[in-house]
Amino acid sequence: MRWCLLLWLLFWSMACFGLSAAQLHLHPDEQRTLQTIEATIKAPQKLSFNCDYSPPTNSSCQTYNGFQYITELRVKDLNLTGMLPLELVNLPYLETIEFTRTYLQGQLPPIWGTMKNLKTISLTANRLTGNIPKEWGNLSSLTYLSLEANNLSGNIPEDLGKLVNLTNLFLSSNKFVGRLPNTLMNLRNLKQLKISDNSFEGPIPEFIQNLTQLQKLELYASGLEGPIPTAIFQNLENLNDLRITDMAGEQSDFPTLNIQTFGKNNKLILRNVSLYGPLQPKILGIINAEMEMLDLSFNNLEGELPGDNIGGIKHIFLGGNKLNGSVPNRFSFNDKNDNIDLSYNNFNWSADTCTGDKLAHVNTYRSSYLKNNAV
């Protein structure tokens, strides 16, 4: 009788406090799906997808109705020889897919577009090919999409503009072509946009000025053409990291920058983008002592350098322009950790400037007025 009473009390305690043994294990359907996924990606070793591990290495789980369900799958830095698994659609609570630096092959599965709970897809550095499926425009909960460093190609689908909750979109280092669709103007929550190292066509789209939450914009050798829309510098008040390089197209004057935008620890890289005209009037009072990096190299900028207004910038690249006049004292006795390049310009060097260690850590190759190898 005593044993019966103890068993009765234990049963009701487990029921009331949710301590059933079933809570400690994945749902059987999820277990079968994970086995199929491991076979599809051809993992060289057993992956700890099971949430019984503490903590699990490759997954995270949540408990629903007495069973555990996978919410995150993370596989990184493995030499996988398989494909992206279609079977992920059988994980109904999945929010995060992260297969980065894994060498997976094949195409992006259109069927993933049916996964309504997905918030993050990171497929950086694989061997994926083909187009971005238009069906992915149905991923209404998606906030993070990284497809960088693959072999993807084709045009960016207009349907991508339906992902209005995106905050991060990374498409760099692929083989995308064509013009960026105007539907991307709907991505008003974007904070980071990286589309470098592709073969896009046409000018930098004007709609970028409407992405007012942007903090970082990278257009390294994107294929897009200039001139750079001036509204980017004026309207994007949250932008603190702007990188545009290697861009053909019309010449443009050095932009008038928003003083509030480019401040502490910010980066401005406008390298080889056909800028011309005098530098000093536009940069005085804007590039302040707390800016981290300024790269205006390989343009057609003229005139003299401003003086103390660039006093604290540690990374300054102005090589390959037509700058002249004397070099400000800012560049004298600079710290060895500074990165300063004044090469291939037309500066006047005084005898005093070139003595001692004043320019010990500055690249001034062929930058004197007489092109006589000043240092």
pLDDT tens across the length of the chain (375 residues): 444 444 444 444 444 443 333 345 888 999 899 989 999 999 887 776 767 655 557 878 888 888 889 999 999 999 999 999 999 999 999 999 999 999 999 999 999 999 999 999 999 999 999 999 999 999 999 999 999 999 999 999 999 999 999 999 999 999 999 999 999 999 999 999 999 999 999 999 999 999 999 999 999 999 999 999 988 888 898 998 999 999 998 888 888 777 666 666 788 999 999 999 887 666 655 665 567 888 999 999 998 887 655 556 778 899 999 999 888 776 665 565 568 888 999 988 665 555 555 555 667 665 554 444 444
The closest alpha carbon to 41, from 1, 119, 100, belongs to 100
Cβ(204)–Cβ(229) below 8 Å: yes
Q: Quick one: how far is CA 183 from the chain centroid?
A: 20
Contacts within 8 Å (CB) and 24+ apart, 73-76: 73/37, 73/49, 73/97, 73/98, 73/99, 74/98, 75/41, 75/43, 75/47, 75/99, 75/100, 75/102, 76/100, 76/101, 76/102
Amino acid 289: pLDDT: 53
Q: How far apart are CA 63 and CA 180, in angstroms?
A: 42
What is the C-alpha separation between 141 and 164, in angstroms, rounded?
9
Task: Output the pLDDT for position 85.
Answer: 96
Exposed e or buried b per residue across 318-334, where buried means at least 16 C-beta atoms within 10 angstroms of its C-beta = bbbbebeeebeebbeeb
Q: Rounded distance, CA 316 to CA 284, Å?
A: 15
For residue 64, what pLDDT is reported?
82
Q: Where are the domains of the chain?
A: 253-375
Question: Which residue, among 262, 319, 328, 275, has the nearest Cα to 295 in the 3D structure?
Answer: 319
Sheet strands (E) in 284-361:
293-295, 300-304, 315-317, 322-326, 339-341, 346-348
Q: Residue 82: what pLDDT?
A: 95
For position 309, what pLDDT does the model report? 56
Q: Which of 257, 266, 258, 269 is nearest to 289 (CA)?
A: 266
What's the pLDDT score for residue 263? 63
**What DSSP letter does each residue of 250-278 carry, written as one string?**
--EEPP---TTTS-TT-EEEEESS-EEEE
